[in-house]
Structures are given as structure tokens and as C-alpha cells.
Structure 1
């Protein structure tokens, strides 16, 4: 049966039981989605595209089953069942009917479209605080995802995509994208791929290539009851979704960058790194390439959408593609990493300021934040918000925590990223050690000592809720008795608004960096 007749049938209220008052139809290059009552019904298009093949009934059925399986990992409340569209004895189409299936439909529970992250971002409603919960969801998916057993899966597919991008860019040169810019992007991409090949192979062999979401952009995340839900994972080819976890995350970071939400992207990256394996810090060397490739993929999708759109919609899609191609080039532009150390007694605002300035430092999405409070909890194997006993704060334990912080900073610097180390740094030798690390790697360094009157320090610490730090007003009283020794960090007074203090710190970093 021609699929056009099936689409016509699914567009009528009589196809459903109970019959809905209104049916909304959404079309993409790969599917038709019918919104009817409390449910959504997805029908795969009978198409064959360069990257997917739904041309036969069997392939569409398999894709529906695979989509149900994959999305049950993150959105079991949305993905319900796969049902047949069959022709009964009277020759009538019936959903879930008897007879030989002529197509298959994935049934999902509807959600409020206003909760889609891309719409929330566009309307300025996407909260910075929600990035922490989003990072938790993404990292949980990645931890549980199946690892690949194919040694070249982390390299060969990427090389194929790079080659395909080269062909597309050459074809579009002087049309959508200036030829000089296209040639520069091709050259930078190929150079990055060549340089990163050993790292990508190593990450494959050490388990960082897994069956991920595969299509993790803002439009495939929805807020339900205040929490992010990942849906619409890539289902048509498991190989395309079996990728480096940072390539999966990179799609989401790129999309946030496209929406000019660099602070959100930085918060997401750092929250993800706090929850993932330490080796991902070195893997960040591949992030610029991953971001660039994701931008080109989105540009290609925009151009594909333009082929089936009205002239006005097509023009808008081409503009989006052009913007994404330009963004892809910017992601590959070289950036010299920096190392910033934030010191100060508990309550001085180190962590708040680190989060406020990180997206402004280094290549997008900004600096990696290494926080001693987080590393102490990780070192002792407890949840970040669990309270540690006093034995975790001995001089010996603290010396180990600072060594771990410098080790994580070292890994991030090796990954080509700028780093902010957030720790008290009360001892001169601690400040000297972090400065020496910058000298070892030949990167620019700046140390900032955040200062605040004693009564305000105690007040801030007393008012903390849900913070990873275990500091109390009595801890602040003890710290106030410390002999800080010669202070070679720049002192910054931290009373005033976060924005004002952050600006003062950025000015010190940008104007007086060593």
C-alpha cells in the first residue's frame, strides 16, 4: 500500500480509539508524527537517504523496535509500544488491527511541547541550574551504555563523516558557504583528525566508545515534572550511535553554543566531568573536532530540510546552515590554554566566581573547573553532598586532595583546555605548586585570592544549602587564624554582586596574566 494513503488514514480522527477532537501532524525528513489525544504515533517515512534506509516494511518495523528499546533507557515513561497498521478482511486500514501489517507505528505518550529544551532556550526560559541535572542524566546514560568491541569504531566512522563533510563543503562552496571558508574548514578538520587519531584509537580501546544517544541536541530533551528527559535516540543504525561519549555530549554543547548559551554549556561540561571518568579530561583534546563535526551535521540537516520547505522556510534553513558552517570553523580555531587558581577562605565565593567566569576563559565552552571540595568527596568515595568526618580533613588528607586537584588540572591542560582550580590555597607551598604546574606546561597563569570580612565569611557559610562543601562557621574561625605567609596571588575583594566580582576577576585575569 502506498504510504500516502496510510498518512491520510492516520490524519483522520476515525483511526484512533477513542477518537481525538484534533490531530496535529509533524513531518520530518524521516518520520510522520501524529499527535492525537494523550498519545503520539510515529510512522517512519518510506525513504532511503544517504544516512538511513526505511525503504522496506521490514526495515521500518526494525527501526520502530530499536527506537523503543533505546529510548526505554532514558524515557520509559514516554515510549510505550510498537503496533501494526493492518488491512482487515473488508480492506480497511486499522491501527492494531488483524490481518497482514502494511506498516508499523511507534506509540508514545505526549508531553507538553513548551517543555522542549530548544524552545525553552529560544525563549530564554532554560535555567542555568538545570544543566547539573541534565549532566547527571547524560552521564548515567553513558555509564550504562554498551561498550564497543570493535577496535576501529572510534576512528573509521569519524573519518568517513569527515570525508563526507569535505564533499558537501566542496559542493556548497560559493553557494551556501564562501569557498575560502570552506577550504579552511576542510583543512582544519583534516589536520585535527590526523593529529587526534592516536587518542581516538586509545579511547576506543579503553571503553569510551559506547552505544550513546547519538542525536543529543536540545530538541531531543524535554522537561517533565522539573527534570530533563532524553528522548528520540538515534535508532536507524546502531553503528552511528556507537560513538565516543564526548562526541555524544559534544552535540549538546554545540547546540547550546549555537543558542549563545556559553555559560550553560560550561556548566553542563563541568557537571558532566565531575560525574565521569578522569580520562575524559585528556579526551577533551578531541572536543573542538567533535563540536565542529556536530555543527556541520546540523548544517546538513538544515539544508535537507530546505529541500522540502516553502521558499521562505528554505531561505531561513539556508541561513541557519551558513551560521552553523561558520560556527564549525570557529570551534577549530586555536586557543592557548590558561591556568587560573582561585584561593580564599571558606565563604569567600571561590566556587561561585569560578562558575561565573569559566565560560569566558579559553576555547568554547570555557575552562574546566577543578574544585577541591568535589575531589575530596571523590577521593573518599562518597556522594558530593554527603558530610565527611573530621578524619578526612587531616593535613595528610588535604595534601593528597591538593595533589589530586593538580593531577586533574594536568590532565585537562594535556587535553588543551584552560583550567580553574578552586581551593583554599592557604599555604604558600600550595600556591607555589599550582603556579609551578603552569610553568611546567608553558601556559599562562594567574592566581587570585578572594577576600571578604570575617563576619561575611561566616554568614555566607552558615546560609549554604545543598553545597558540596562541609565548611561551617567554626571552620571559618579556624581558617582565620592561619598564617598565610607571603601572598603572591592578586587580592580581589568579593563583597558586592556576583556579576561585579566576576568582572573584577576577569579584568585581573585578562590584564595581568603572567
Structure 2
């Protein structure tokens, strides 16, 4: 880890917290803060930075914003914010939390929220439900209805303010062209935002007239939502700059909607938005949703990029932040595409289709429609339940396979009809099955891409052998592979290019994703 400030090094010692007796103190970092976790409490100490849009450069300012953080966050998380604690150097020269001495800094103290209730953790462990996101939507609808509006706040919904914020995003992300996004992505995003603002000025004015510009949370994503029994705590709102908190409620809802897409859960995103619209009555939100989702994805990408230049962030974390930034830029790119996309994988079992499909789902906000999951769901089985059978028998009989493909196409049709994009994750060995998928895309005005996955036979067999020892939704094995290899009909429906890409899954999944995304812009 890079060299830490003296204050943080001192407070990492468990002996600093005699009333809590922690075994260890965990350190988290954002671009603007250090957060110390003791198990019972979390202590947030601002970094002495001045980034233009945020200024924590003086002790007085860090105290002021600490006090403001308490007031603002008690709106949506009243029971968790304890108070502001001075960090002092006592008369013996020791740094400590509270007590007499020279004040070096201030820490916002809050009850440490349980990891098991964090929305991002629930997403990662596949335990977030539609009922839970619907409850968040209702809480936000009530919060927005009560939040301050009018006067100075309304100015932040104006075309000039929104244009200025977008221009700033591009200027601050420009240095990362070639690292976190391509020049083509940058140019496509810039062109989209310029066109949208030019074409929808009246719509934005109507949002002001309709009292949709409010004093919001400003940073509504899954890492800031905690479920603790029946209580929902939405914390860590933006306090450092009012212009990032004041804004259209549609932008706030688009933020969490985008984040659900980034976690590969476009299904939960639909539930969240639908419930918010129902609870708030704001049906006009839909016309702004993708615009604000792209805007919010761009902001998240930009913020991740900032960590690449932070001297306190380790090389390992910088690598993770770069991958995060690329993912958000890809998602922003997906939102601005003029038509829905239907991706169709093809390739024999074990060639890496599902791994690539899952990663594309997160990068492009897709509905992931898996043949393995669909087949078992139709049979009343949990996806992880093994159901091995000889080729063409049991769950893999021609009748069950036809039923599976029909169900997948039916689900994809519903997604495309709603203007959404999807990926069909299956072998698609037969031309007829691929033709049916291509016909479906054409029926709904979607653009289709066949993703032909190839892998050398030795690596393919090695992967299948490893799969037999691991939990998997797939029942693929060497025997199935041998039969499929003989029956795979060449994918020659579309010429290789924008609508037909050949992927060598021996390469990293990150490289495979880059190859596909580069074809979209």
C-alpha cells in the first residue's frame, strides 16, 4: 500500500478504540476519504484535497462538511449517524480520537452497517429480491415528494447547468482516452449528449415546471443502500457540492437503475423503475431514463479513473478501478445505441460462451437468457441441480431442446418489445435455430450479432474436466462435446464483421469483451 498519512496510520491501531475492542481496524478508501471500520462503528475522515468540484483542503472546511454530512444523511438514514469526533494530538504527542489536545482532523462517526445487508453484497450473492428493490423505490418516491424544491434548487435542472455538468464530465475523462475508453466511445458519447440536449430542451424545462428538481441524495447506488430487517438505510449522500445533489429525480432513479444493470440484473432494474413510477406518478421519467443512465455511468467511470492518479491507492486497486471504469464506459455506450441489440452465442459446450455472456451482460446492461437455466427451470429444477444425461436424452432430448429454445425466444421477444437488449446464451448448433433468433431481432427492429466462440480442443477438454469437479449450471461433459462438435453447422448466416464476430475464448474475457464493444461504436 502507498504511504498513508500519519493520522490514518495511528488510527489503524486497535488500541485506539478501547471501548470497542476490535480485533483489527479495516481501512477503505474513496477518492476523497479514508474510512476506518472497527466492527461496531465506521469513522470517515476526509482527505485534504481540492479537486475543484470538492474542496476539503482546510481543517475548517473538513469540519463544516462533516457537520453537513450528518444533517443531510439523517434524512434517509436517521439512526446510523452518531456525530462528529475530533482527531487530536494529546499533550504526550499521541494521536487519538476525541479528548484534549491539538485538533488535527475530524471523523464522522456512524454505526457500522452489517455487510450482509448491503445491496451490493446481496447482488453479488444473488440474494437481492424484487420485493426489496420495490421497497427502496417506494422509500425514494416518498423522500423525493418531501425533499426541498424551487428557488435556487430549480436552477440545477436547467439546460445550461446540465450542459455544464456534461461538459465537465468529458473534460475530466478526456485524459483517460486509450486507457479506460476508446476515442470512438468518447466521440460517440459526446455526440449523443449534444444531440439529446438540443432535441429535448422543452422536456427539461417541463421537469422544472413539474417540481421534479429536488434536493436529492445525489449518490444513489447499491453500495449506499443497506437492509437491516425491515429498515432500509440509504446513506453517504453528497454533501460536498450542492450542484451534485440538487437535480432531477429522474437522474437519481437512473443512477440506481444503471447500477443494477452493471451488476447484471436488468430484471431488478425494471422492477425498481416500474415501482418508483407507480409510487411517484412520474411516468414521464421513462423518456429521460437512458439519457440519465448514460450520464450516471459516465460519472461513475470518471470517478474510478480519478483513483488511477491517487498516490494513496495501491497498484492492485488501481488495476481494479481501471476495469471498473471500462465497464461503466461500456455501459454508457450501450445506453446510447439507437436500437436494441440481440446477441446470439454459438459454440460447443465448454468453449466459454456463458462466461463471456455473463460479462457482456454487466458491461452492456443486457438481459441474460441462458439455455442451461431455462432448460432446468422448465423441468422444475434449480439451476445448480445436476441433471446429466447421454446426448439427446433426458433434459437434452430433441423435444426438451425445442421447448427450451422456444422459451428463450419468447423471453427475448418480450425484452426486445420493451426496447431492451438481450443475449441468448446457448450452443445454437443448428442454422434453423440461429435463423429463428435473427428473425426475432428483425421483427422488433433490433440489431443482431452472432458471437461465434471458438477454443482449441485441448483447452476445451481441460475446461470440461474442471467443470465436472465444480458446481455449475451446465451439465456439459466430454461425451456431449464430441456429439456437438460433429453436429455444429457453420455460422455463415451473416458475414464476419459488425454483426458476426469470431471470438477466441483462449484470450481473456476482458479482451473478448473489448473486441465486441469496439464493434458497437
Q: Paired residue for 1:22?
A: 24
Cα contact 1:148–1:211 (8 A) shared by 2? no
Q: Distance in 1 between matches of 2:131 and 2:223?
A: 19
Q: Paired residue for 2:156?
A: 153
Aligned to 1:213, what secondary structure does the other structure show?
A: coil
Q: Paired residue for 1:143?
A: 145
How much has 1:194 moved relative to structure 2?
A: 1.9
Indicate which of 104, 109, 112 corresponds to 2:111.
109
Query: Matched residue pairs, number?
Result: 356
Indicate which of 242, 262, 265 corresponds to 1:261.
265
Q: Paired residue for 2:11?
A: 10
Q: Paired residue for 2:71?
A: 69
Write out per-residue CA displacement over residues 73-92 of structure 1, whole angstroms, 9 at most, x where no aligned residue: 11112111112223444444
Cα contact 1:64–1:105 (8 A) shared by 2? yes
Write out per-residue CA displacement over residues 279-334 of structure 1, whole angstroms, 9 at most, x where no aligned residue: x2224322221111101111112212233444443233222212221211221223
Q: Paired residue for 1:300?
A: 302
Cα contact 2:213–2:247 (8 A) shared by 1? yes
Cα contact 1:153–1:204 (8 A) shared by 2? no
Q: Paired residue for 2:123?
A: 121
Structure 2: segments with no counterpart, 5+ residues: 341-360, 368-406, 418-439, 446-521
Q: Distance in 1 between matches of 2:332 and 2:258?
A: 9
Structure 1: segments with no counterpart, 5+ residues: 337-359, 367-498
Q: Distance in 2 between matches of 1:210 and 1:177?
A: 32
Q: TM-score, normalised by structure 1?
A: 0.63
From the superposition, tell whether residues 281 and 86 of structure 1 become closer, same or farther in structure 2 (CA, over 3 Å): same
Q: Distance in 1 between matches of 2:412 and 2:26?
A: 52
Write out per-residue CA displacement over residues 338-379 of structure 1, whole angstroms, 9 at most, x where no aligned residue: xxxxxxxxxxxxxxxxxxxxxx9xx9799xxxxxxxxxxxxx
From the superposition, tell whether residues 93 and 507 of structure 1 become closer, same or farther in structure 2 (CA, over 3 Å): closer
Indicate which of 52, 55, 78 corresponds to 1:53.
55
Cα contact 1:3–1:46 (8 A) shared by 2? no
Q: Paired residue for 2:375?
A: none
Q: Distance in 2 between matches of 1:283 and 1:73?
A: 23
Superposed, 1:50-449 pairs within 5 Å as 50-150=52-152, 151-155=154-158, 156-277=160-281, 280-308=282-310, 309-335=313-339
Write out per-residue CA displacement over residues 77-117 of structure 1, whole angstroms, 9 at most, x where no aligned residue: 21111122234444443422134532111111112212211
How much has 1:507 moved relative to structure 2?
A: 9.9
What is the alpha-carbon root mean square deviation over aligned residues?
Answer: 3.1
Q: Distance in 2 between matches of 1:165 and 1:13?
A: 40
Q: TM-score, normalised by structure 2?
A: 0.62
Q: Distance in 1 between matches of 2:416 and 2:26?
A: 55
From the superposition, tell whether residues 157 and 125 of structure 1 become closer, same or farther in structure 2 (CA, over 3 Å): same
From the superposition, tell whether residues 226 and 305 of structure 1 become closer, same or farther in structure 2 (CA, over 3 Å): farther
How much has 1:196 moved relative to structure 2?
A: 2.2
Aligned to 2:200, what secondary structure does the other structure show?
A: helix
Cα contact 2:334–2:365 (8 A) shared by 1? no
From the superposition, tell whether residues 314 and 332 of structure 1 become closer, same or farther in structure 2 (CA, over 3 Å): same
From the superposition, tell whether residues 176 and 506 of structure 1 become closer, same or farther in structure 2 (CA, over 3 Å): closer
How much has 1:16 moved relative to structure 2?
A: 2.2
Q: Distance in 2 between matches of 1:307 and 1:210?
A: 33
Cα contact 1:152–1:201 (8 A) shared by 2? no
Cα contact 2:130–2:268 (8 A) shared by 1? yes
How much has 1:65 moved relative to structure 2?
A: 0.9
From the superposition, tell whether residues 501 and 189 of structure 1 become closer, same or farther in structure 2 (CA, over 3 Å): closer
How much has 1:130 moved relative to structure 2?
A: 1.1
Cα contact 1:196–1:286 (8 A) shared by 2? no
Indicate which of 22, 33, 36 corresponds to 2:35.
33
Aligned to 1:295, what secondary structure does the other structure show?
A: helix
Q: Distance in 2 between matches of 1:320 and 1:513?
A: 32
Cα contact 1:162–1:190 (8 A) shared by 2? no
Q: Distance in 1 between matches of 2:365 and 2:36?
A: 38
From the superposition, tell whether residues 333 and 41 of structure 1 become closer, same or farther in structure 2 (CA, over 3 Å): same
From the superposition, tell whether residues 169 and 59 of structure 1 become closer, same or farther in structure 2 (CA, over 3 Å): closer
Cα contact 1:46–1:54 (8 A) shared by 2? yes
Write out per-residue CA displacement over residues 246-280 of structure 1, whole angstroms, 9 at most, x where no aligned residue: 10111100111111111100000010011103xx2
Q: Distance in 2 between matches of 1:126 and 1:159?
A: 35
Aligned to 1:152, what secondary structure does the other structure show?
A: helix
How much has 1:145 moved relative to structure 2?
A: 1.0
From the superposition, tell whether residues 47 and 255 of structure 1 become closer, same or farther in structure 2 (CA, over 3 Å): same
Q: Distance in 2 between matches of 1:240 and 1:4?
A: 28
Cα contact 2:331–2:365 (8 A) shared by 1? no
How much has 1:169 moved relative to structure 2?
A: 4.7
